[in-house]
Copies of this chain bind each other. A is one copy, B any other.
Amino acid sequence: MKYPSALVNLIRELGRLPGIGPKSAQRLAFHLFNQPQEEVLRLARSIEEAVSGLSRCLNCFNVMSSDQGVCSVCDDTGRDRKTLCVIEQPADLLAIERSGEYRGLYHVLHGSLSPMNGVGPDQLTIESLLERLSGIGEVILATSTTVEGEATAMYLGKLLAERGVSASRIAYGLPVGGDLEYADEVTLGRAISHRRPL
């Protein structure tokens, strides 16, 4: 007994997705096999339409509809065009927009420096970032606070300093609503050393 080739292919393709191992891929494949055909085809179509219907903003590399010229943030004339916020991925943009604290433009790196995974500066949109600096007063480095995100922020900070552009890093500290008791010691240490006058 072997699985039919259509099933083997499906399991293999699902298994390429991040966070989905061989067992999960098999479970997903059988789940799809047990669903009504039209629902499964809707998933396939949504993938195909994402391929044809989505592209990266030529300006900031945010995700946008292929029929747009630039993304809706870059297109918004009401925004502060002197400030750039550098983020790792489009999802981070939405998170910052939801905070309501930022009205400048963005630059999406599409990843962070990770030599272990073969991601160097050329795999990110750093070259294009450096080409966008004329007229920019401040670049906020809002990469994540992981080792890779920190390294990316440090690397960009150096490049920006060389070009005389002022750069800042988002603040470390306790999350709002967080209990001191449950904070890890590194975060708590940063919250104390970066304390602000009342």
Contact = CB atoms under 8 A, between A and B. Distances in A.
A170 interface: no
Q: Chain A contact residues: over half helix, strand or loop, or mixed?
A: helix
A47 B50 contact: no
A188 interface: no
Interface residues of A, number: 58
A17 interface: yes
Nearest to A19: B24
A59 interface: no
Contacts of A31: 17-18
A97 B1 contact: yes
Contact of A43 (B14, B39, B72, B89): B14
A51 interface: yes
A16 interface: yes
A146 to B, nearest CB: 15
A165 interface: no
A10 interface: yes
Contact of A73 (B1, B89, B91): B1
A26 to B, nearest CB: 6
Contact of A47 (B19, B32, B89): B32
Interface of A: 1-7, 9-10, 12-14, 16-19, 24, 26-34, 37, 39-54, 63-65, 68, 71-73, 89-91, 93-94, 97, 110-111
